[in-house]
Amino acid sequence: MTRSKCGSEESALRRRGILPLMRPAAEDMNTPILETECLILRKFTKRDLEALYRILKDEEVNTFLPWHPVKSIEETKQFYEERFASKYRQPQGYAYAICLKEEDLPIGNIKVDMEEHHDFGYGLRKEFWHRGIVTEAGKAVVEQVKKDGLPYITATHDRNNPRSGNVMKRLGMKYCYSYKERWQPKDLLVVFRMYQLNFNGSAVFVYKKYWNDSDEHFVEILGTENS
């Protein structure tokens, strides 16, 4: 979810030396294949449309995702072209299919955006929830983007979905602040919690665009059960 209204905060911090200059992107810096103990993370292909449709059509899975459930293979194909194929044409990107090793069939997706927010996000078929799959995939992706020179990642979750915040914490991300937003395209008023992980050792840099763009923002005192 991009909400930038003005010049690049990230660029200004690079010029001041607070954030490092990013390394030039190479061909292998767009969604390189990653392997974990149980998973293969790879690019989606057109052969995956049926599997992607199963991920995207489920209304319960979709509850906290920033798009509506798809209704057909044709809508899935359009989603694939806009959200995956277009990313793969860029010099650098991270838009993964999550596949179990034994099947190499997508059961979810996980990504880090290359826009200034470097937003981390994911979706997973509900029959695979509560098995540590997103955490396992997320750790691999986090290590890859760190290796490739991203200075930080952020992630947001609906306050009504604290389990997502727990995933972020397991990846080493820290809660920074909360903000209220009219969430599109679902047109819902949502309180989001913003988490961040810096890779340059900085304990002071916080991505503040969401804070600055929201008329209502605040810092919550989070207990372990709802963080």
Please, are residues 219 and 185 in contact by the beta-carbon 8 Å criterion? no
Residues 86 and 170 in one domain: no
Residues 117 and 189 in one domain: no
pLDDT digits (tens, 9 = 90+) for 10-38: 555 555 544 545 554 445 789 999 999 99
Higher pLDDT, 223 or 125: 125
Answer yes or no: is 14 within a domain. Answer: no
Answer yes or no: is 73 within a domain. Answer: yes
d(CA 60, CA 98): 19
DSSP string, 100-168: ETTT--EEEEEEE-SSTT-BEEEEE-GGGTTSSHHHHHHHHHHHHHHHTT--EEEEEEETT-HHHHHHH
Q: Domain tally for the chain?
A: 2
Answer yes or no: is 113 within a domain. Answer: yes
Tell me: pLDDT of 102 over 80. Answer: yes
pLDDT cut 70: percent of the chain above it? 86
Please, are residues 191 and 178 in contact by the beta-carbon 8 Å criterion? yes
Answer yes or no: is 68 within a domain. Answer: yes
Residues 143 and 158 in one domain: no
Residues 155 and 207 in one domain: yes
Q: Could you list the residue range(s) of the whole structural domain that residue 185 is in?
A: 151-227
Residues 43 and 135 in one domain: yes
Answer yes or no: is 17 within a domain. Answer: no
State residue 168's pLDDT score: 97
Residues 141 and 158 in one domain: no
Residues 170 and 225 in one domain: yes
Residues 34 and 145 in one domain: yes
Answer yes or no: is 39 within a domain. Answer: yes
Give the residue from 149, 159, 153, 148 showing the smallest Cα distance to 205.
Answer: 153
Q: Is the N-terminal amide bond of 151 cis, ω within 30° of 0?
A: no
Answer yes or no: is 189 within a domain. Answer: yes
Residues 127 and 59 in one domain: yes
pLDDT digits (tens, 9 = 90+) for 106-137: 999 999 999 999 999 999 999 999 999 999 99
Which of 115, 130, 150 is where one domain is finished? 150
Residues 195 and 168 in one domain: yes
Q: What is the pTM of this model?
A: 0.85
Which of 121, 150, 179 is where one domain is finished? 150
Answer yes or no: is 194 within a domain. Answer: yes
Which of 150, 166, 201 is where one domain is finished? 150
